[in-house]
Amino acid sequence: MAIITYRQALKDALAEEIERDENVFIMGEEVAQYNGAYKVTEGLWKRFGDKRVVDAPISEAGFIGLGIGASFLGLRPVIEMMFFSFVYVAWDQAVNNASTVRYMSGGKVNCPIVIRGPANGGTNVGATHSHTPENMIANFPGLKVVCPATPADVKGLMKSSIRDNDPVFFMESTLLYGNEGEVPEDEDYLIPLGKADIKREGSDITLIAHGGCVLTALKAAEKLKKDNNVDCEVVDLRSIRPLDKATILKSVKKTNRVLLIEENKPFCGIGAQISHMIQREAFDYLDAPVHRISSVDSPAIYSPPIEKIQVPDARLVMREVRNILQIKA
- pLDDT digit string, tens, across residues 79-94: 999 999 999 999 999 9
The domain ranges of the chain are 2-183, 197-325
Q: What is the pTM of this model?
A: 0.96
Quick one: average pLDDT of 132-142?
95
Least confident of 122-131, 142-151, 232-241: 122-131
Asked about 276 being catalytic, the answer comes back as: no
In angstroms, the CA 233 to CA 70 distance is 43
CATH number belonging to the domain at 2-183, selected among 3.40.50.1820, 3.30.1330.10, 3.40.50.970, 3.40.50.300: 3.40.50.970
What pLDDT digit, counting tens, does each position of 196-227 carry?
999 999 999 999 999 999 999 999 999 999 99
What pLDDT digit, counting tens, does each position of 11-46 carry?
999 999 999 999 999 999 999 999 999 999 999 999
Max CA pair span of the chain: 61
In angstroms, the CA 317 to CA 320 distance is 5
Asked about 172 being catalytic, the answer comes back as: no
**What percentage of the chain carries pLDDT values higher than 90?**
91
Single out the catalytic residue among 16, 80, 129, 172: 129
In angstroms, the CA 36 to CA 80 distance is 9
Q: What is the DSSP letter of 318?
A: H
What pLDDT digit, counting tens, does each position of 178-202 carry?
999 999 988 899 999 999 999 999 9
Quick one: average pLDDT of 221-248?
97
Residue 329: per-residue pLDDT: 64
CATH number belonging to the domain at 197-325, selected among 3.40.50.2300, 3.40.50.920, 3.30.420.10, 1.10.540.10: 3.40.50.920
Q: What is the DSSP letter of 97?
A: I
**What percentage of the chain carries pLDDT values higher than 70?**
100
Single out the catalytic residue among 16, 17, 29, 60: 60
Question: How would residue 261 be classed by pLDDT, with cut points 50, 70 and 90?
Answer: very high
Q: At what angle do helices 245-255 and 270-281 cross, to 10 degrees?
A: 60
In angstroms, the CA 259 to CA 264 distance is 14
Identical fold for domains 2-183 and 197-325, yes or no, is: yes
